[in-house]
């Protein structure tokens, strides 16, 4: 199982230089990859292109870029450019986002999201495989469009999928799935069997090495409260038997974290994506050092 780290979740004030420095730390620690969240700050695909020019070894991926705001031809062109800039180390993670963002904030219809994703992949996948897109759907109609991006041979495309329909789409049309706020039991009993063991399964999990377990869990629940409310994540927490995000998080000493990560490996996860939560001074560096020890 690969071990990576998520970037882009620190919120306002995080700079490009700071993100590049964090990537350098991940590489120096021996991690396999970094995954960048695409929230309300830097564009993840563009930023990973910059990081990839500065950090020569790490795998790079988005976790995840929302589909609705970008036409699939535009997203394919941007992703192929980043793949070329990073010598083929880039993976494109995409997702639907949420009604709160797409409909309430952006004013776009969030009706029939699974149909939207099927149409989106019908246009996107040929383009990132070097073929022409030729598709007639309700939302997208693309004919005779093909991209030629020198230096890019395409990239893996993974789809944020939690429910049965979306997992079926990810299995049939993409290279795997990427999850967030999903526990190891749900991955073992629901996600991995649904998508198949030959696919990439990236699991994003909050993690912190600390002796102040109760305080750390309280801070995680405060920082990640929204994920206990959004319907798709709430469903995964309920399936796991978790009340709050901290019930999914790996919090504690080295033995607790090591056994927790092993449970994700045993569940069939191919890529563990550590969302290091700085709940106290020194927590980030301490947790990264622990993850580095797993790669030794």
Q: For residue range 139-168, what is the model confidence (pLDDT) as tens digits?
A: 999 999 999 999 999 999 999 999 999 999
Look at residue 47 and tell me whether its pLDDT is greater than 60.
yes
Contact 192, 242 (CB under 8 A): no
pLDDT at 296: 72
Whether 178 shows a pLDDT value over 70: the answer reads yes
Show the tokens assigned to 265.
């490996």
209 inside domain? yes
Average pLDDT over residues 124-139: 97
Mean pLDDT of the chain: 96
The pair of structure tokens assigned to 111 is 């009706």
> Residue 92 and residue 271: Cα distance in Å, rounded?
14
End-to-end Cα, the chain, rounded Å: 13
Determine what percent of the chain is predicted with pLDDT higher than 70. 98
CB–CB of 8/48 below 8 Å? no
Spatial distance between the Cα atoms of 232 and 188, rounded to a whole number of angstroms: 18
Q: Is residue 214 part of a domain?
A: yes
Residue 131, C-beta contacts closer than 8 angstroms, at least 6 positions apart: 146
145 forms beta bridges with: 133
Tokens encoding 58: 């790490």
The pLDDT assigned to 19 comes to: 95
Among 283, 274, 281, 235, smallest CA distance to 30 is for 274
pLDDT in the model for residue 13: 62
* Tokens 């230089």 found at: 17
Q: How many domains does the chain have?
A: 1
Asked whether residue 267 is domain-assigned, the answer is yes
Determine, yes or no, domain membership for 45: no
- Domain contains 234: yes
Residue 33 counted as domain residue:
no
Q: Of 133, 292, 135, 126, whose CA–CA distance to 209 is shortest?
A: 292
CATH number at residue 248: 3.40.50
Q: What is the pLDDT of residues 281-292, one digit of tens each?
A: 999 999 999 999
Domain of residue 270: give its range: 175-181+198-296
- Give a yes or no: residue 275 inside a domain: yes
Length of the chain: 296
Angle between helices 72-85 and 44-54 (to 10 degrees): 10
The pLDDT tens digits of the residues spanning 57-86 come to: 999 999 999 999 999 999 999 999 999 999
Most confident of 4-18, 220-234, 248-262: 248-262
Q: Is residue 208 part of a domain?
A: yes
List pLDDT tens digits, range 216-237. 999 999 999 999 899 999 999 9
pLDDT of residue 10: 55
């Amino acid at each position: 199982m690969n071990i990576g780290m998520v970037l882009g979740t620190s919120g306002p004030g995080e700079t490009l230089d700071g993100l590049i420095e964090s990537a350098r730390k991940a590489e120096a620690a021996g991690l396999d990859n970094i995954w960048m969240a695409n929230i309300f700050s830097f564009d993840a695909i563009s930023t990973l292109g910059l990081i990839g020019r500065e950090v020569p070894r790490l795998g790079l991926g988005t976790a995840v870029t929302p589909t609705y705001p970008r036409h699939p031809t535009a997203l394919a062109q941007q992703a192929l450019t980043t793949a070329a800039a990073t010598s083929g180390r880039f993976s494109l993670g995409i997702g639907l986002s949420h009604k709160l963002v797409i409909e309430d904030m952006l004013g776009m219809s969030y009706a029939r999201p699974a149909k939207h994703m099927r149409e989106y992949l019908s246009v996107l996948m040929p383009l990132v495989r070097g073929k022409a897109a030729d598709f007639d759907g309700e939302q997208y109609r693309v004919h005779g469009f093909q991209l030629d991006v020198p230096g890019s041979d395409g990239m893996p495309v993974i789809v944020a999928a939690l429910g049965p329909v979306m997992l079926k789409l990810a299995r049939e049309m993409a290279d795997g799935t990427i999850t967030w706020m999903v526990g190891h039991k749900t991955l073992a009993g629901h996600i991995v069997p649904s998508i198949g063991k030959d696919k990439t399964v990236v699991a994003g999990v909050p993690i912190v090495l600390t002796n102040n377990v109760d305080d750390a869990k309280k801070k995680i629940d405060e920082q990640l409260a929204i994920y206990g409310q959004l319907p798709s994540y709430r469903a995964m927490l309920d399936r796991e038997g978790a009340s709050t995000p901290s019930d999914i998080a790996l919090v504690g000493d080295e033995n607790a974290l090591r056994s927790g990560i092993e449970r994700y490996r045993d569940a069939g996860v191919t890529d563990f994506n550590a969302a290091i939560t700085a709940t106290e001074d020194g927590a980030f560096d301490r947790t990264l050092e622990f993850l580095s020890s797993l790669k030794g």
